[in-house]
Amino acid sequence: MKQVKKFALLFLMVIIFDRPAAKADEQAAQILSGIRLADISQELNGRLRKEDGTIIPFRLRAAGNELIFTFSDPTEVLRLRLDDNGSNLTLQTGERERVVSGAKLNDPVRGTDITYQDLALRFLYWKNSRVEGEQNVRTFSCWMILLQQGDPSLAYSSVRVWVAKQSGALLRAEAFDAQSRLVKKFEVISGQKIEGKWFLRQMRIERYDPASGKLASRTYLEISS
């Protein structure tokens, strides 16, 4: 992908450039390359809300190509940095900061349905992508793109994303295992304007039992300025 990908958490409302006609795989790469982090500099309040009513608050600091999530009790700092080649997610506990990689990416964040891999949006950097067609999401006409990878250590073998054609907003994603069974759904429920730019207000994350196909649990990610 030719441009720097600047984005985080599937929940960012984004803008993409106009695209000329292209082959499906080239067009998918162009669409994904155009997803950008909303250029804001803010300290925001956030929370993860589990279906059982558990609330996990955090502070979110957005600055340039970096997003910093700070949790308390115990204190943990997740720092997401973005560059030309991908995303780099680190976890700091006490004085120690280490890169989140390998099997650790599959672990849940604070016991919720969000994993470290979800937070880093690693799947949007996968090279194997293609446009599958168009579909409406909440009245918005979207490109439907399938991304695939072959690393067996990751929980997701493929991810399908819906990107709004007019605004470039990433509105929905569905993740599948190596047997093409649904394991996770993400959907932006609402957005808000911060510094004149669209940013997440609420996202719903649903985890599925791949064997039965039934919904196992649900978490909401919510941001307020």
Neighbours of 94 (CB within 10 A): 8
Domain spans in the chain, listed from the N-terminal domain onward: 24-224
Closest to 5 in 3D by CA, of 126, 109, 118 = 126
Higher pLDDT pick, 120 / 220: 220
pTM: 0.84
Quick: pLDDT tens for 162-199.
998 887 778 999 999 999 999 999 999 998 888 877 77
| pLDDT digits 0-9 by tens, 106-151 | 999 999 999 999 998 888 888 899 999 999 998 899 999 999 998 8
Q: What is the pLDDT of residues 56-71, one digit of tens each?
A: 999 999 887 788 999 9
pLDDT of residue 13: 36
Share of the chain above pLDDT 70, in %: 85
Convert the pLDDT of each residue in 78-115 to its tens digit: 999 877 678 899 999 988 999 999 889 999 999 999 99
pLDDT at site 194? 83
The pLDDT score that the predictor gives to residue 74 is 93
Read off the pLDDT of residues 5-22 as tens digits, 9 standing for 90 and up.
Answer: 433 333 343 323 333 334
Q: Considering only the top CATH level, what class is 24-224?
A: mainly beta
